[in-house]
């Protein structure tokens, strides 16, 4: 699978292990050879479908939201990375203060003693400082590095979420396209059914008008039955015609367009492509982006535990300042008035109301949650593959039986029509044969659609990709990414 940059599995040495049993092969027997890294949409051989999927991946608004989340995660990762670097800032400080002196005689400008002993004398001071200040927390215990690692894992998870959404969107677009193609075939079949029933009604009505009477048959009743089937065929056609604009609007929303129901669909369902290799269950963990995202979140939660534990240890930081100090503002640029300081600080948490230790417990609970979520996601993924493989076999048998039913229904209709034309049958047999044929053809269209959609589900369950995701293509604001 071609994943977006950054959507990669956690390295084996860093991965939190799960005790889930992973079988050596699928319960529903399938080819165990490696899954080919190819664009599965192309395998359906429909250029229009491929173009629509590309368009949806570029214009879909839900995908755009996830692209914005990646940008947020990238910024947060940069912020976390800055925590381990020295902080440097410049400052210009000014102050004015008054000091009082008690018990000392004062002097005036000419040096003459003024005031009485014991009097309170005041003096005003101005101070201007221009400094560069440096602060650096020494990450001796790895607390900052753990936070950085957690932020990077969350960033990787957001990229995998984006890739999983791309995969899901491609599947939704393909399924909607197949539904639209099937609806077009069903609409044409409904038109065909209406023509057949109208023709039967015309034949019966002509006989009724001509006064042709056949033994044991009521021409009026037969005409009424024929007209009932015509009315039902008109109603069925109306339903099929309503399906088309509804599905077109659904497709347009996926493409990021206004849902006006104008998007043209396929004229018919494409042929079913060959069955892809399913690979091995263990390989699924390295292919599906949703599993990778859950794995990255588990790793991030584990790093947060380490960060919380390291917060219990002393924090060591270095601070320094360099600049000038003067009683006059003009003196701050005087190199002879330099001041500087260098200091270190050791801070050990002593009393924080139990917050730090409870934070450790909370982060450990987050790990338990992430592990359970990861394991459930893995189980769901295995189920999706097994279901798709099972449905593949079931639907294949169903399509074969339905195709045989269509063949037999065509033969039955041919015989009943021939018998009716020879005056040996009744119109009810003809109407029933016609309806059975229409139903069988409709069922065949439906099972063909189901097989195509199930093939899409199988590709998605196996983590099949469709090109490389570029989140920045969804960020429309100027200057983004």
Mean pLDDT of successive 10-residue stretches along the chain, which has 481 residues: 52 56 78 58 90 92 86 84 80 80 57 56 78 82 89 92 92 95 94 89 71 60 83 92 92 91 82 85 88 94 92 85 80 75 77 80 93 94 93 94 96 88 76 91 96 94 70 48 36
Q: How far apart are CA 401 and CA 251, in angstroms?
A: 32
pLDDT, residue 222, reads 72
Q: How far, rounded to the nearest angstrom, does the alpha carbon of residue 349 sit from its chain's CA centroid?
A: 42
CA-nearest of 244, 255, 259, 262 to 173 is 255
The values of phi and psi at residue 267, to 5°, are -75, -25
Classified as helix, coil or strand, 348 is coil
pLDDT, residue 346, reads 76
Please report, for residues 13, 21, 67, 163, 420, the alpha-carbon distance to residue 9 in angstroms, rounded to integers and kept in the order given. 11, 19, 20, 13, 69
pLDDT, residue 118, reads 53
CATH numbers and ranges of domains, the chain: 12-98+124-474 (1.20.1600.10)
387: which 2 tokens? 């279901």
pLDDT, residue 99, reads 76
Torsion of CA 304, 307, 311, 316, to 10 degrees: -150
DSSP single-letter state for residue 28: S
CA-nearest of 227, 211, 231 to 219 is 211
Do 157 and 307 form a contact (C-beta atoms < 8 A)? no
**CA angle, corner 255, sides to 251 and 261, nearest 5?**
40
Do 271 and 45 form a contact (C-beta atoms < 8 A)? yes
Strands 87-102 and 315-326, by their bridges, are unpaired
Please report, for residues 201, 239, 422, the alpha-carbon distance to residue 198 in angstroms, rounded to integers and kept in the order given. 5, 18, 20
Do 290 and 164 form a contact (C-beta atoms < 8 A)? yes
Residue whose entry in the numeric block shows the structure tokens 């991965």: 15
User: How does DSSP assign 239-279, residue by residue?
Assistant: HHHHHHHHHHHHHHHHTTS---S-----SSPPPPPPPPP--
Find residue 123's DSSP bridge partners.
99
Sign of the C-alpha dihedral, residues 408, 414, 416, 419? negative
**CA angle, corner 393, sides to 39 and 405, nearest 5?**
115
CA-nearest of 311, 310, 316 to 138 is 316
pLDDT, residue 8, reads 64
CA-nearest of 404, 405, 403, 407 to 451 is 403
């Amino acid at each position: 699978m071609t994943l977006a940059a950054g959507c990669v599995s956690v390295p084996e040495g860093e991965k939190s292990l799960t005790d889930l049993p992973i079988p050596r092969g699928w319960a529903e027997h399938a080819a165990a050879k490696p899954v080919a890294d190819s664009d599965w949409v192309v395998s359906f051989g429909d250029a229009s479908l491929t173009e629509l999927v590309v368009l949806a991946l570029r214009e879909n608004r839900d995908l755009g939201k996830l692209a914005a989340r990646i940008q947020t995660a990238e910024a947060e990762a940069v912020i976390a990375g800055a925590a381990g670097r020295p902080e440097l800032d410049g400052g210009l400080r000014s102050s004015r203060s008054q000091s009082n002196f008690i018990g000392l005689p004062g002097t005036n400008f000419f040096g003459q003693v003024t005031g009485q002993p014991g009097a309170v004398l005041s003096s005003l001071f101005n101070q201007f400082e221009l400094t560069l200040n440096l602060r650096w927390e020494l990450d001796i215990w790895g607390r900052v590095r753990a936070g950085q690692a957690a932020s990077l894992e969350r960033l990787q998870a957001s990229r995998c979420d984006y890739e999983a959404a791309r995969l899901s969107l491609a599947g939704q677009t393909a399924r909607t396209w197949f539904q639209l193609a099937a609806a077009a075939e069903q609409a044409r079949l409904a038109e065909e059914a209406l023509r057949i029933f109208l023709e039967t009604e015309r034949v019966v009505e002509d006989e009724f008008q001509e006064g042709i009477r056949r033994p044991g048959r009521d021409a009026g009743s037969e005409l009424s039955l024929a007209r009932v089937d015509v009315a039902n065929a008109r109603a069925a056609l109306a339903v099929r015609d309503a399906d088309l604009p509804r599905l077109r609007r659904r497709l347009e929303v996926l493409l990021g367009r206004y849902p006006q129901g104008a998007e043209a669909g396929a004229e018919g369902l494409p042929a079913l492509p060959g069955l892809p290799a399913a690979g091995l269950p263990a390989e699924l963990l390295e292919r599906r982006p949703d599993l990778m995202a859950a794995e990255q979140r588990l790793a991030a939660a584990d790093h947060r535990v380490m960060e919380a534990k390291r917060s219990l240890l002393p924090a060591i930081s270095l601070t320094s300042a360099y600049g000038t100090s003067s009683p006059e503002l003009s003196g701050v640029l005087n190199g002879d008035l330099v001041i500087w300081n260098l200091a270190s600080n050791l801070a050990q948490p002593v009393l924080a109301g139990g917050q730090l230790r409870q934070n450790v417990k909370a982060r450990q609970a987050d790990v338990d949650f992430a592990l359970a979520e990861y394991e459930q996601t893995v189980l769901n993924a295995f189920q999706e593959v097994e279901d798709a493989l099972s449905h593949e076999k079931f639907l294949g048998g169903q399509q074969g039986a339905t195709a045989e039913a269509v063949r037999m229904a065509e033969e039955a209709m041919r015989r009943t029509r021939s018998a009716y034309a020879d005056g040996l049958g009744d119109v009810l047999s003809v109407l029933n044969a016609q309806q059975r044929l229409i139903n069988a053809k409709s069922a065949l269209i439906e099972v063909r659609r189901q097989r195509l959609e199930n093939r899409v589900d199988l590709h998605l369950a196996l983590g099949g990709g469709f090109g490389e995701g570029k989140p920045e293509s969804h960020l429309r604001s100027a200057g983004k990414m």
